Amino acid sequence: MSEAAERGVRYKGPDLKRLGQAILEAVGTPEDLAAIVAGSLVDANLAGHDSHGVIRLTSYVAGVRSGQVQPGARAVVESLGDACARVDGAWGWGQPAAHIATDTASKLARANGVGLVTVGRCNHIGRLGEYIEDLSRAGQIGLMTCNSPPAVAPYGGYTRLLGTNPIAWGAPRSPGKPPIVVDFATASIAEGKLRIAHANGSKAPLGAVVDKSGQPTTDTAAFYDGGALTTFGGHKGFGLSVMAELMAGMLSGTGLSSDPDYSNGNGTMLLAIDVGRFLPASDFMEQADALEGRLHAAPTAAGFDAIQMPGEPEWRSRAERTSEGIPVAGATLRAINDLAQELGLSPI
Ligand SMILES: NC(=O)c1ccc[n+]([C@@H]2O[C@H](COP(=O)([O-])OP(=O)(O)OC[C@H]3O[C@@H](n4cnc5c(N)ncnc54)[C@H](O)[C@@H]3O)[C@@H](O)[C@H]2O)c1
């Protein structure tokens, strides 16, 4: 493999999506669901989050083979009255279930001002920002969180009792402006990013991992050898993670990450707020633009050449990768192509 291939050859999003969809269909996923899941993975790559992109195809196929994912199952919505609903993901693909939850929350918010939807029996939903961007485009504020398998230690401890429990918020913008999207794991590092660092032989950031006896380490292997991730921002990220367990894990009927029989998915909660109920949506967007203007115009501190709004890095990455293609690291490419060949498909 050449050095360029190890660094990552660029592929156009639609080409990667086509291969991803074919792989998912080859393991029993109906065409429409495969298109949604493959589209979500490629969108994560476009947004710059390769940890949640096509690299996941191998673990997703492994999930089908182990019985964790029922590739043909379809999510079902149940009204809970007023502005509340729950989605049963039926252990099918998480992304279609999360999209149904997003549409449902958005409709409820349009009708009632707010909409609250949970998703239970839900596999991995990927990058939460994707759903929040949909709400932003619909003129709504979104708040989404989920819990996930135990990987993170409580603040002051070192055993795995919490998921990486991401939280995402977003707000609507004027047309043509990047949506404001705050979207991150409550762990110091998303597990997918640690996995990439581990595969590349890179070090973990100091403070992000503790080994199985509670000692801080930069050795990524220590996590896989019984260690744990820490929460970001000490007690602050810890507090957010606890709330993700209670709001998403419990309200969705999934349970807590620390339960001995916690399943391998994402108990999910999504709140949509229709901005127009509280003030004219145009006023909200004008103020958001004004805030962005002030933040962008502020002097930068040492080591920074610009101040960006939350959501801006993903917006910039999407523009650049849509035009230049998505760099796919050599190891990821080899894994996807091996999988394609094993399933009788042409590699990319
Ligand atoms: N489904 C799951 O189980 C699961 C679990 C963990 C994480 N995730 C996903 O993983 C993805 C990555 O999470 P992460 O913790 O690595 O995110 P991250 O640390 O890369 O932070 C991303 C957020 O920070 C903002 N940001 C980044 N740089 C910025 C800058 N210079 N100025 C202003 N804002 C900036 C981005 O716009 C975005 O909102 C997220 O999309 C998350 O939803 C999913």
CA 185 – ligand 1 centroid, Å:
6
User: What CATH number is attached to the domain comprising 11?
Assistant: 1.10.1530.10
Q: Is 95 in the pocket of ligand 1 (CB under 6 A)?
A: no
pLDDT at 199: 84
Strands 114-120, 84-88: pairing kind = parallel
DSSP tag of 169: E
Q: Which atom of ligand 1 is nearest to the CA of 52?
A: 10
CA-to-CA distance for 6 and 3, rounded, in angstroms? 5
Q: Are residues 7 and 34 in the same domain?
A: yes
> How far apart are the CA of 184 and the centre of ligand 1, in A?
3
Residues 108 and 163 in one domain: yes
Residue 164 CB–ligand 1 contact under 6 Å:
yes
Average pLDDT over residues 230-247: 98
**Å from CA of 28 to ligand 1 middle:** 31
Which atom of ligand 1 is closest in space to residue 128's alpha carbon? 43
Helix (H) or strand (E) segment spanning residue 26? helix 13-26
Cβ atoms within 10 Å of 142's Cβ, excluding its own: 29
Give the residue, 187 or 5, on which the prediction is more confident: 187
Calpha distance 7→244 (Å, rounded): 36
Q: Is the pLDDT of residue 323 over 80?
A: yes
> Ligand 1 in contact with 193 (CB < 6 A)?
yes
> 242-265 pLDDT, tens per residue?
999 999 999 999 999 999 999 889
- The closest alpha carbon to 129, from 145, 109, 151, belongs to 145
Ligand 1 atom at minimal distance to the Cα of residue 193? 16
- Do residues 131 and 59 share a domain? no
Same domain, 79 and 58: no
CA angle 76, 78, 82 (to 5 degrees): 145
Pocket of ligand 1 contains residue 166 by CB under 6 Å: yes
At 188, is the secondary structure helix, strand, or coil?
coil
Q: Which atom of ligand 1 is nearest to the CA of 94?
A: 1
**pLDDT exceeding 70 applies to what percent of the chain?**
98
Res. 7 pLDDT band, cuts 50 70 90: low
Question: Given ligand 1 and candidates 59, 145, 169, 183, which is best to mutate, with the most ligand atoms within 8 Å of its CB?
Answer: 183
Beta carbon of 237 within 6 Å of any ligand 1 atom: no
Give the pTM. Answer: 0.96
CATH of the domain at 256: 3.30.1370.60
Distance 140 CA to ligand 1 centre (A): 20
Q: Is residue 214 part of a domain?
A: no
Provide the pLDDT for residue 1: 45
**Cα-flanking dihedrals φ and ψ of residue 101, to 5°?**
-60, -40
For residue 311, the ligand 1 atom closest to its alpha carbon is: 37
Q: Could you tell which of 162, 184, 266 is best to mutate to test the pocket of ligand 1, judged by most ligand atoms within 8 Å of the CB?
A: 184
Q: Are strands 228-229 and 209-210 parallel, antiparallel or unpaired?
A: antiparallel
Domain count within the chain: 2
Closest residue by CA, ligand 1 atom 35: 310
With bands split at pLDDT 50, 70 and 90, how would you rate the model's confidence at 2?
very low
Token pair recorded at residue 340: 């394609």
What interhelical angle do 57-66 and 330-342 show, nearest 10?
Answer: 40
Question: Are 132 and 252 members of one domain?
Answer: yes
Question: Domain residues for 32?
Answer: 1-72+311-348
Where does 27-150 have alpha helices with state H?
31-46, 57-66, 94-112, 129-137
Does residue 241 share a domain with residue 107?
A: yes
